[in-house]
Structures are given as C-alpha cells and as structure tokens.
Amino acid sequence: MGYCATPIVIAISCFALLLEHAYSSRASAFSKWTNVVELVDSNDNDTEAHHVGGGVLKIQGFGNSVRSKPALYVFGDSIVDSGNNNYLNTISRADYLPYGKDFDTHQPTGRFSNGRLVPDFLAAYMGITFPSPYLASNTNIQQGANFGSAGSGILDSTGSALGSIMPFSQQVQYFQDMKQRLQHNIGEARANELISNAIIYISNAHNDIANNYYLPNSMAQQEGLSIEQFENLLISDLSKHIEVLHNEGARKFVIEALLPLGCAPAFSRISSSCAENLVEAASKYNNLLRALLAKQRRTFIDAHFLLANSFDPFYAIAQNPQYYGFVTSTEPCCNTQGVLGASVACPRGASTCQNDSEYVFWDMLHPTSKIYSILASKYWSGTPSNISPINIRQLVSL
C-alpha cells in the first residue's frame, strides 16, 4: 500500500517507505552497521563479514571460487520502498522519526514502518546487504537495489497527486538502465549471469486499488469500470512489465500477493473491523495474480514465478490478533490521535506504543516490522500454503 500523508481525504492510502546505510549480516547473526559495504572479490572462502578499519565493512565470499550470493532487486510501493522517495519531490515520505525507530540504525530511512521490511529480512536470510534505494548514489548494484517508491502503483496514474513518485514502469526502466551499468562495470557475461541468478521481488498494486480505484470520483469509476475490469487491467500491465524484466534476463521472480487492504486502521478503525469491499478487492486481485503466474510459468519455462501469500496469514492475524499474541489490529502503534483526517502517516515526532511487537499496524496503513518478520520467514522457508510452488530458500539454491 502506499501510505500518503494526503490531506483531507482519509480513505486514502499510499504505500510508502528508507535506508542509506548498508549493513551486512549472515543469515541469522546480525553484524554491525557501517557506512560503506564493499564486496571483496576474493578467492577466500565464504566466511563471516568482518570489520576493516575506518568503519568499512567488507564481506568475503563473493569471489569466483565459491558460489556467489544472488542479488536482490526489489520493486513496489511503500510496503518495500527503502528510501527512494527521500530523493524525490513528493509528500509521500517517511524520513523522520518515529519511522525507523526500531530499525538497525534506529534512524528513519524512508521505510514506512518502525523497522525492517520484508526485503530486509530476506536479505538477512540470504546473507547480503539490505537492498538500498536505487536513487542513492552509493548503492552497490551488484548486490541488489530497491526500486520501490511509496505511493506508487502498477498504473502510471496511481499516486500522481503525491508528486514525483516512481510508478512501476519507471522502476522497470531504471532496472534496464542498471543492467547497462552492470554490463559496463563487470562485463556483459558476468552481468547477465548476475541478473539471471538475482531474486526479483515485486510487491505492488495496493495503491492502484486503495488510492486510485476507490478514491471518490476516481477516473476508473467515472469511466464505468467495475473493480473486476480494473483489476484485469492491472494484471495485464503487471504482466507486460514482468515480460520486460524477463527479456532483460531476469529468471527468478517472487511476487507478493496483496494484503487485505481493508484491515488497515485507516479503513478498519471506525468500525473495528476490516472494510470488506477492500478485502474482497484484494482477494480477487490475488486470484487473478495466481492465474497470471500459472500462465507465466507455462510461457516462460526457463523462469520461476513464486507467489508469496501475504493475504492469508495477515488476514488471520488481523481478524484475531489476541490469538496470535498481538493486542490490537485496529489501532496503530504510532499515535495518530488528533490528526485523523489530516494524515494517514505517523506524524513527525509522534508518540508510539510501548511495545511495537504487540501491534499489527505501525501507522494507519502500514504493518509493523514484527508482521514483516513473520511474513518474511514464511516466504523464506515456508510451505506451499505460504509461498508456491517453492520457497525463496529453494529458489536461491537453484
């Protein structure tokens, strides 16, 4: 979803988000933060990251002698944006506290949550640095990059009122530019191999529905499109962009399903229950997405298309938070009292709940990092009910 600090209209969401510092870790053991991460193209074995003077962290084990770790390229909205919007002229931003208060640096990065997002947790599992914003100048594109832009959607028109955010088409264009840079930097053969081994993680369409179709007097509704017709349009556009990425050599796709949008406090708080029209819209979209990926698997037999099921586990938690150890799913951790109607984002310097891990939602639209950690662990090593047809750990090892 794109969370937007959109004035006046409450029933709006923009999925938005940040981080410039790179860090590195092994799958489970976190190491420290530093300003710079460098890859050492050595023939050493795949050992721990270690510190080298001046706060520079080097990672060994990416050499030719051992299996390279795959890169992670991320596309989408505020569910994944790690800070691109910090570089853009938009009101859709999370570059101030309390956003980021529980992040590794305890600093705001542009991420629309209190801490790490799913791609960060996945990067940690993979033993690579968090994919940093593509627009940041120091991003190591050989390791990965995050093209996500809070508030954006599959359609170019989605979120355009928020300023110069990057729609999916622009994100894909940047990926194409990046591939050229990679080829220039490390040669065509190595760049192509890197791209074909890379994990392509996509999480979008939240804003197309919540912050486009369902906006009062939206263009789509004025044109008489039903939600089904609109979603078919989205899927068709998504499909075209995926084909472009495939043409560029990407082979390992993970597409995250839509969250049950209507359960976000922006929509659920007043009635204390999920807004059914939005939940149903997300569910229908997910069915179309499932069908699309099945088709892509038949069409591009050289590629993998995983569907990450965010919807079911999230919906279960949102409907029965206490059962899962949360105190509430209709109140956000960030105290937005008094600003209802002015903003769905967490206000600058707002007070927060005592324990983020007990809350499902961080702000009026975005889950807490605790929720993201639960989803990421399911995507990494879960069963086909969580992610299908294989999990990301298996995808990485192919």
Ligand X SMILES: *[C@@H]1O[C@H](CO)[C@@H](O)[C@H](O)[C@H]1NC(C)=O
Interface residue list for ligand X (CB under 6 A): 45, 47, 325, 355, 357-358
**Residue 44 or residue 188: which is nearer to ligand X going by CB?**
44
**Residue 5 or residue 360: which is nearer to ligand X going by CB?**
360
Q: How far is the CB of 373 from ligand X (least distance, A)?
A: 12
Is 363 assigned a catalytic role? Answer: yes
Q: How many CB atoms lie within 10 A of CB 287?
A: 12
Q: Which of 102, 104, 237, 363 is catalytic?
A: 363
Q: How far is the CB of 46 from ligand X (least distance, A)?
A: 8
**Residue 49 or residue 191: which is nearer to ligand X going by CB?**
49
**Residue 27 or residue 219: which is nearer to ligand X going by CB?**
27
Nearest to 253 by CA among 306, 191, 302, 194: 306
Q: How far is the CB of 65 from ligand X (least distance, A)?
A: 9
**Residue listed under structure tokens 């208060």:** 101
**Residue 239 or residue 328: which is nearer to ligand X going by CB?**
328
Q: How far is the CB of 357 from ligand X (least distance, A)?
A: 4
Is 78 assigned a catalytic role? Answer: yes
**Dihedral angle, C-alpha 187, 395, 67, 42, nearest 10 °:** 60
CA 398 to CA 377: how far, in whole Å?
19
**Dihedral angle, C-alpha 344, 149, 71, 309, nearest 10 °:** 50
CA 158 to CA 241: how far, in whole Å?
16
**Residue listed under structure tokens 């961080």:** 362
Is 366 assigned a catalytic role? Answer: yes
Residue 233 CA: distances (Å) to CA of 56, 212, 220, 236: 47, 13, 11, 5
175-203: string of b/e by CB count within 10 Å (b at 16+)? beebbeebbeeeeeeebeebbebbbbbbb
**Residue 222 or residue 323: which is nearer to ligand X going by CB?**
323
List the alpha helices (DSSP H) in the chain: 118-126, 168-186, 188-197, 206-208, 219-222, 227-247, 265-268, 276-299, 311-319, 369-381, 392-397
Q: How far is the CB of 375 from ligand X (least distance, A)?
A: 16
**Residue 24 or residue 146: which is nearer to ligand X going by CB?**
24
Q: How far is the CB of 5 from ligand X (least distance, A)?
A: 28
Q: How far is the CB of 18 from ligand X (least distance, A)?
A: 24
**Is residue 111 within 8 Å of 83, Cβ to Cβ?**
yes
Q: Which of 13, 24, 78, 203 is catalytic?
A: 78
For 153, the token pair is 């959607």
Paired strand residues for 184: none
Active site residues: 78, 363, 366
